[in-house]
A and B are shown apart, each in its own frame.
Chain A
């Protein structure tokens, strides 16, 4: 860039004149208006769906945390903490009594009541996997008065507080009763919460811009903010989320000071930001993401456990993560199906996925299984950057181990439609695909949909696995962290043996901010409370 800078040096006077003219024509257009503090953030995706209960899309969940509040929330130690409500549990573990704290109001000025909480939890319970399990053992859920909600169970459900406090896919956001009474299969049409920010509907452009304004009547908790728990103190007037489809443009805009924060930075573009001293690159979500391979348990050859084991032995996490991320600072070989940094995560029996590819073992397993060379249809999306590399690396590794692989390239939408087909491969079915999850979404046996062994009712791939279902039922009844961990390790060992899915390791995504943005909280979900913005 130096020669160009030098060549353009003499144009600076003209530049100043042009800039001054523009400024005269547009007073205040490039600066904050009316002394307001506005944070402009480029998020990983455009916000199109505004209902944080109907969808598991991360951007909609993030939107949920801006405008809604939650009853309870996990802190950085994965411990449920009171947020809107404190709770008491009866000695028999069958009755949970939640008491709403003072000062909770919706953005339209109405107080938050127990009725609102009940309606919101019921709607959430129809969408969320963990919620459905709780409602399976629910005797009643009622508001005994304006501020009290009593949840009575037919049998103990040990992880109830963890499930309703979870931070991702899908947290039970509290909405006004009239909104929460919308069918769980329809999107809501009114966006009023009691959270720290107010959604500005007039300035909302689906997929392009969304503006949030500080909710002046929000009363934060007194505790320090920690992940999704604690005091959500808002120090800015407005937060604008914008979408930039071009990664390089977003980086240029950050360097030029046109935006304050970039939620995700492509690793191959990081060197460009090295040249911007006014920008800090960091990882605030230390849990990160996992990438996984999902075999289809319905059809040959992956209806045979030995063939699934052969595929697991054939694959190598290191080479897959290296191809995806490049820089070892941003990935982590990990065999724990509930994540390597979570309380339930454990790498028991995981050497088969963390110890490198073992094509000889895979060949032996294939021979034992009597694999007849039926080609594996491996779906390979071509339009999602974070999913492009896995099928390519996997196809090569599987071929080296003796599999016949038919890798079929298609757009992600085609993968999404085809993976729902239960028909045999010859009639439009499939054998394997790869996808990614945030670690909080796979961090326990209830939220991790890939662990479900309910056959046709399970997640795509449909393992019919009564043993894992028994273990999940045992987990639900397990009281306390130690008992729950014990069951989680049993599930880990079972999944490593049965190969419900293939854990391919963890990776991190860096983010970047102008140095004027301070006090950002580390959190798996980007949060805009607590942070401050200094003048440039």
Chain B
């Protein structure tokens, strides 16, 4: 297992290098000029040229690339072209809200979706199954921002249970954190509940038809033990895959929710950096996202063997 993990970790190096080359070239080929954003609308072409020189944007592409790679190897993500602040510091500030919201979302989703999927499979073709599947279709179909606005209207504006927007770190108190994180997490959870519930149901339906389930029932094992210990554990691999992918997606793609709830996460940081062509920030963000995907996939692969002893590395 350790050798397998080591191999996978080493395999991330070429993956990250390819991502680095790709993102670097893509950004340089995309129209846009960070110097123009920095200097503002009234800057003359001559002033922009001098700023570009200072920022190193007029250097040959290869020089720019190797300067950046050299910094990366030394663990330096560089500084933002606009704010002159360390990119690592910016990522550190923004990663916390995104990860915390993602963890809360995944927790809510798993706690709701797995039992829903199991029950829907158990009560296949009954009104319970129909209800769960209807919710799933709804969860997929309604845009996230619509759900966000509806939740804000009900819980923040009408009932005034929670604030409309904002974010507080758990270190500032569980109450402030929870009251601000709950609506965005619920909003995001609607999609993931739908996704995980459907996957759980499908996977469970397959397992529930197996001989060993019939045997367990014939032996008089209680139904909840059959469902959750025998069937669910065997149905776990695809469910884990979808949870892992979902978590990675949550880390990298919650821009709309972060905007609607005004959460200073990495989704907004990425969009802002792209709009401003803040190259060091965009490059770092894409590398980070790629790294998260690789790490989460590794974690999911390793966890397969925990749920399915037949899988060995």
Contact = CB atoms under 8 A, between A and B. Distances in A.
A56 interface: yes
Given A21-B175, A26-B173, A253 B262 contact: yes
Of the listed residues A19, A186, A413, the one surrounded by the most CB atoms of chain B closer than 10 A to its CB is A413
A206 B264 contact: no
Given A55-B38, A417-B32, A420-B33, A252 B165 contact: yes
A268 interface: no
Interface in A47-71: 48-50, 54-57, 60
A435 B175 contact: no
Contact of B165 (A19, A186, A253, A417): A253
A252 B172 contact: no
A457 B44 contact: yes
Interface string A250-271: 1011011010000000000000
Nearest to B166: A258
B174 interface: yes
A414 B261 CA distance: 29
A413 B161 contact: no
A307 to B, nearest CB: 24
Interface string A103-138: 000000000000000000000000101000000000
B40 interface: yes
B54 A186 contact: yes
A449 B44 CA distance: 9
Interface stretch (A143-151, A217-225, A241-249): A241-249
Contacts of B172: 26, 29
Contact of A25 (B46, B54, B173): B173
B50 interface: yes
Contacts of A12: 159
Q: Is the interface of B mostly helix, strand, loop or mixed?
A: helix
A299 interface: no
Contacts of B175: 21-26, 29
A249 B47 CA distance: 38
Given A15-B161, A48-B80, A420-B45, A29 B168 contact: yes
Contacts, number: 178
A330 to B, nearest CB: 22
Interface in A187-240: 187, 189, 205-209
Contacts of B176: 22, 25-26, 29-30
Interface stretch (B82-90, B114-122, B289-297): B82-90
Contacts of B165: 244, 249, 252-253, 258
B8 interface: no
A78 interface: no
Interface residues of A, number: 71
A383 B277 CA distance: 14
A318 B38 CA distance: 33
A185 B172 CA distance: 40
A518 interface: no
A256 B162 CA distance: 10
B298 interface: no
Interface in A401-418: 410-414, 416-418
Of the listed residues A29, A129, A258, A410, the one surrounded by the most CB atoms of chain B closer than 10 A to its CB is A29
Given A18-B162, A48-B82, A50-B83, 16 more contacts: A8-B158, A22-B161, A26-B168, A26-B179, A29-B168, A29-B173, A55-B38, A129-B44, A245-B268, A246-B262, A249-B165, A253-B262, A256-B164, A420-B45, A435-B41, A457-B44
22 contacts: A4-B154, A8-B158, A18-B161, A21-B175, A22-B175, A22-B178, A26-B174, A26-B176, A29-B172, A29-B175, A30-B176, A56-B40, A56-B43, A245-B268, A249-B262, A253-B163, A256-B164, A412-B275, A413-B277, A417-B36, A457-B44, A459-B42
